Amino acid sequence: MLYAILCYNDEDAVFSWSKAEDDAVMAKLDVVHQKLAARGQMGPAARLMPTTAATTLRKDREPALVVDGPFAETKEQLLGFYVVDFANLEQALDYARELGVANPGGAYEIRPLRLFLPGADLSDRELAAE
């Protein structure tokens, strides 16, 4: 089963880290990443740019409205994500716990993924929660 692990944190805190502090956190995360990559369970991962670089399309009105910044105003922002392959939710939670030890603060949201790849044969993979 593929899972998305969404990484939330206070972007003001994270983006205020010095290069040395950021490098240290990324090095700790890389140790966790490499274990998963060695088992073939690590998919794409991305760190998002700050919410000041975001644009949101508000589709709840006609015509749709384009606004600067993120959709939600919250203390913690979505700063990145992982796509991982585990047999079950408990394995995904264990991995998120390891990430949490390496990266201070924030939260991880884990969601099963359903892929939509036109033309791809995905019959050999369970892609959605039953």
Q: Give residue 128's pLDDT band: very low, low, confident or very high (50, 70, 90).
A: very low
Q: Give residue 130's pLDDT band: very low, low, confident or very high (50, 70, 90).
A: very low
What span, in angstroms and rounded, lies between the C-alpha atoms of 52 and 24? 24
71 CB contacts (<8 Å, ≥6 apart)? 56, 58
42 CB contacts (<8 Å, ≥6 apart)? 33, 36, 82, 84, 85
What homologous superfamily is domain 2-112 in, according to CATH? Dimeric alpha+beta barrel (3.30.70.1060)
- How do the residues of the chain divide into helix, strand and coil, expressed in percent and rounded to 5? 30, 30, 40
CB neighbours of residue 82 within 10 Å? 24
- Render pLDDT for 9-31 as a digit per residue (tens, 0 to 9): 998 999 999 999 999 999 999 99
Q: Give residue 70's pLDDT band: very low, low, confident or very high (50, 70, 90).
A: low
Are 128 and 114 in contact, with CB atoms under 8 Å apart?
Answer: yes
- Looking at residue 127, its pLDDT comes to 44
